[in-house]
Amino acid sequence: MISVENISKSFASQTLFEGISFRVNQGERVGLVGRNGHGKTTLFRIITGDEHPDSGTITFPRGYRIGYVRQHLDFTEETVLKEGLKGLPEEEQLNHWKVEKILDGLGFSSQDMQRHPEEFSGGFQVRLNLAKVLVSEPDMLLLDEPTNYLDITSIRWIERFLLAWPHELILITHDRSFMDKIVTHTIGIHRRKIRKISGNTSNYYAQILQDEEIYEKTRINDERRRKDIELFITRFRAKARLANMVQSRVKTLEKQEKQEKLEKIKALDFSFQNTSFSAKYLATISDISFSYDQELLLIRDFSFSIAKGDRICIVGQNGKGKTTLLKLLAGVLKPQKGSITYNPNVKKGLFEQTNIASLVDSRTVEEEILYSCDHVDSQLARDVCGAMMFEGDNALKKISVISGGEKSRVMIAKLLVTPANLLLLDEPTNHLDMESCDAMLAAIDSFEGAVVMVTHNEMFLHALAQRLIVFQYQYPYLFEGTYHRFLDNGGWGDKDAPLKRVRKTPGAEKPGERLTKKELRRRRSEIITERGKVLSPLEKSISNLENMIDLNEKRLNQSIDLMQSASQSKDGPRIAELSQTMHNCQTVIDRLFDELEETTSRFDAQKAIFEKKLEELE
């Protein structure tokens, strides 16, 4: 646990916080909230010793270890697994399985673990840093926006990991639903002060709102009383018989502390410009395929349509093709097979994370917005600057001097002045704080056109998604339904999902439906294709687990050979660990075989029904 006492910190003319104090007690998982630029990351750096406070102290128990995921990348080992092993305490260097388990949860395959760390993207390299911190099992874990580098399946894994975390934790994240599932307490930096409450962010913001309402009512009442006293003094100062009463009120006025009106906190306040669209469908995507490598298709024979008012969310693991699909829809890339046909009246608006590279460093924020569309004038550009928290002289800042988060806001601002009836959004909440995420959610919800969005934010998925494009198996598939329904139907297949998955079988007839021979054949073909998609990952999982058992058997035999001499008797615990790992793998294999058998039977039964109907028609 730690104790923070009267910490103050300023940079130049900006005061981040002054005289703040709080404690993190044993076993508490604390969410740290506050607007961007209010000092959350600076507080982390003060706790780790990377920054020094202007005043105040932080007290730790003797030998207390802090685990903090640093953005600096410095890898010295030849494989991901060996680099991960560096995080283990010295006495646990043989426990490879602990590192493998965490790397697997963070999205590294068994093959990835044998690759060099520098072969991976920056996001995966930060995941490796995260894995090294997690396996070190520090007394306190500091996580600053961990979900920015994780896909949705890894986020769900780390959520379960942190819920089981036995030590202290302080978490910064813009993902409100992720934080609320994990934390036991919330600490907020607000108006340069700090406050800690029991419960999640909803409790914290409700308490702040209540306190500020009480403060403002009290301030107004005190101001009214002050004016009444001042009026009394002015009217009766010259009355000798009321001199004592006047003097008493003068003393009262001197003792009364004047409360300042609360400064209005700046917040994002915006809406997208909708241009009218009367047709039913905006686009038809027919049998598209795409790959960067001829041997590895990302998208194969994929079809769907975008209807007026649609809310389609693209979800799945990183590196599977989510952003690629969005680029195909935007026309940035062309499908190698198939077609994407848009209604002539469609106006697209694209937000892509990597697009910040398109900003011109020599331009100001205002100029970037001004030059984004022909119809934008100086007044509109200034208004949008204000909506995106670039008020006054901040609108005249050069792109070269603003932060990555501010550049993302400039990209959103450019999208705001672009009339559109189809928004294509690639993780628009990255680099936004919690309040700004709320504003983004409201703006998307009120947009009259269609939205196709890549996101891993489950709050957005629950609130917005009407249909899902899921990158879960080898190729993407369309799920017709909400995110809640997707999870009910087996979802991501993680251990908190129902064991028996209930998937919608393609080609299933509706009650009373009569099908032609052509339609029956088409639906039978769909069943065969979907059967391969569903069974392939199950069979692959079983194969990987069987390989793991073989590997552990070899390690076990090596340890048993060593046990022949009494000097090597310390290998006993290792043998027990390997045996337990093999037992766990076999348990999962048995479960997967049950699921494989059940799924195969279901698809084969459906296929047999259509074949029987075909025979009857013929």
Considering the domain architecture, whether residues 70 and 125 belong to the same structural domain is answered as: yes
Considering the domain architecture, whether residues 477 and 336 belong to the same structural domain is answered as: yes
Assigned domain for 502 exists:
no
Considering the domain architecture, whether residues 242 and 125 belong to the same structural domain is answered as: no
The pLDDT, as a whole number, for residue 248 is 84
What is the DSSP secondary-structure string of 432-496?
--HHHHHHHHHHHHH-SSEEEEE---HHHHHHH-SEEEEE-SSS-EEEES-HHHHHHTTTT--TT
Classify the C-alpha dihedral 511-516-517-522 as positive or negative: negative
Bridge partners for 23 per DSSP: 3
Considering the domain architecture, whether residues 196 and 214 belong to the same structural domain is answered as: no
Count of domains observed in the chain:
4
The per-residue pLDDT of the chain, averaged, comes to 81
Considering the domain architecture, whether residues 188 and 102 belong to the same structural domain is answered as: yes
Assigned domain for 602 exists:
yes
Considering the domain architecture, whether residues 530 and 606 belong to the same structural domain is answered as: yes
pLDDT at position 93 over 60: yes
pLDDT at position 505 over 80: no
Q: Is 217 exposed, middle or buried (0-12, 13-18, 19+ CB in 10 A)?
A: exposed
pLDDT digits (tens, 9 = 90+) for 572-596: 555 555 565 565 566 666 666 666 6
Considering the domain architecture, whether residues 380 and 455 belong to the same structural domain is answered as: yes
Assigned domain for 570 exists:
yes
Residue with tokens 């995420």: 437
Highest mean pLDDT among 275-289, 431-445, 583-597: 275-289
Considering the domain architecture, whether residues 233 and 198 belong to the same structural domain is answered as: no
Range 535-562 average pLDDT: 58
Q: Is 202 exposed, middle or buried (0-12, 13-18, 19+ CB in 10 A)?
A: exposed
Considering the domain architecture, whether residues 428 and 335 belong to the same structural domain is answered as: yes
**Residue 425, domain extent:** 281-483
Residue type, 431: H
Considering the domain architecture, whether residues 57 and 153 belong to the same structural domain is answered as: yes
Considering the domain architecture, whether residues 143 and 290 belong to the same structural domain is answered as: no
Distance CA 195, CA 86 (A): 37
Report whether 419 contacts 274 (CB < 8 A).
yes
pLDDT at position 209 over 60: yes
pLDDT digits (tens, 9 = 90+) for 508-545: 444 334 456 566 666 666 666 665 665 566 566 566 65
pTM for the full predicted model: 0.69
What is the DSSP secondary-structure string of 325-353?
HHHHHHTSS--SEEEEEE-TT--EEEE-G
| Of 244 and 482, more confident | 482
pLDDT at position 550 over 70: no
Query: Could you tell me the CATH number of the domain that includes residue 331?
Result: 3.40.50.300
Considering the domain architecture, whether residues 193 and 216 belong to the same structural domain is answered as: no
pLDDT digits (tens, 9 = 90+) for 166-183: 999 999 998 888 999 999
Range 479-501 average pLDDT: 70
Q: Is 3 exposed, middle or buried (0-12, 13-18, 19+ CB in 10 A)?
A: middle
Range 200-229 average pLDDT: 87
